[in-house]
């Protein structure tokens, strides 16, 4: 959400003026320096994915006055009514109607480069783009071209096709209308501490008498774990 606000308010470019000690002399001067700053209220925000994170963004974006819609083929009917927002039947419909598009979905073999030369042409001319999900969702060379010709007016990217992001190796680094961050949207001091605590508690759960392997959170090898639990702690695998 902070990326969206920065794109609409041109926060980072204007910050450089402050660092350079350039004073705004009058309204025309302000209009020239702050060109592109847009009022957020009423702008159409298209969310690609309305899972846990997409829903959190949706709830917070409402307070800023965004007119919100989403595309998520995996949600059951009625999700739009439950959240009081618009539902698009296709990714292309979302792109053609949104002033700003924000990605909040997993990367799979099916949706890799879902924003490509064909789909990006469906976007509103001058629309904005935010990606804090996965870099592979966007074909980066196509995005670079769209940012150069103005089809996409600006973009904020916390994730990239190639990570870690290396400035000297990316064409994005030469563009003044894109902000690239090193995959840190998830981070806060509290979230880091929570991640450590959760990992330790799950290990503790696995060794607790009576533990059931299927109850473990975010377990990537669950199909192999019951037998191991049985060896660590007799009776665990069966839940006895």
Pair 130, 7: CB distance under 8 Å: yes
110 given a catalytic annotation = no
- How many residues in the chain? 240
The candidate with the shortest Cα–Cα distance to 176, out of 2, 31, 16, is 16
DSSP state letters, 33-46: HTTT----TTPEEE
52 given a catalytic annotation = no
The two most distant CA atoms of the chain are separated, in Å, by 77
- Out of 86, 183, 202, 230, the active site residue is 183
Pair 225, 219: CB distance under 8 Å: yes
The candidate with the shortest Cα–Cα distance to 119, out of 71, 171, 51, is 71
- Out of 83, 104, 134, 160, the active site residue is 134
Unique residue bearing structure tokens 């996965």? 134
Q: In what order do the strands lie in the sheet with 178-180?
A: 86-87, 67-71, 44-48, 100-103, 127-131, 152-157, 178-180
113 given a catalytic annotation = no
Unique residue bearing structure tokens 């009917």? 77
Unique residue bearing structure tokens 């909040």? 104
Residues forming the active site: 134, 163, 183
């Amino acid at each position: 959400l902070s990326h969206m606000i920065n794109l609409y308010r041109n926060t980072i470019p204007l910050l450089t003026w402050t660092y350079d000690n350039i004073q705004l002399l009058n309204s025309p001067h302000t209009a020239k320096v702050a060109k592109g700053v847009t009022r957020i209220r009423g702008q159409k925000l298209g969310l690609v994915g309305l899972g846990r994170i997409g829903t959190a963004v949706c709830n917070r974006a409402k307070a800023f006055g965004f007119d919100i819609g989403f595309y998520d083929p995996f949600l059951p009917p009625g999700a739009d009514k439950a959240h009081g927002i618009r539902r698009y039947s296709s990714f292309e419909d979302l792109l053609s109607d949104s002033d700003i598009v924000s990605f909040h979905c997993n990367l799979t073999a099916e949706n890799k480069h879902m924003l490509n030369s064909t789909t990006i042409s469906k976007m509103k001319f001058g629309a904005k783009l935010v990606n804090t999900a996965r870099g592979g969702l966007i074909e980066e060379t196509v995005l670079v071209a769209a940012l150069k010709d103005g089809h996409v007016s600006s973009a904020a990217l916390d994730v990239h096709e190639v990570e870690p992001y290396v400035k000297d190796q990316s064409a994005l680094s030469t563009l003044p209308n894109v902000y690239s961050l090193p995959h840190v949207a998830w981070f806060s001091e509290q979230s880091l501490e929570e991640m450590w605590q959760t990992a330790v508690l799950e290990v503790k759960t696995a060794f607790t008498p009576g533990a059931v392997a299927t109850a473990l959170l975010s377990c990537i090898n669950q199909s192999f774990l019951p037998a191991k639990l049985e060896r660590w702690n007799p009776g665990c695998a069966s839940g006895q």
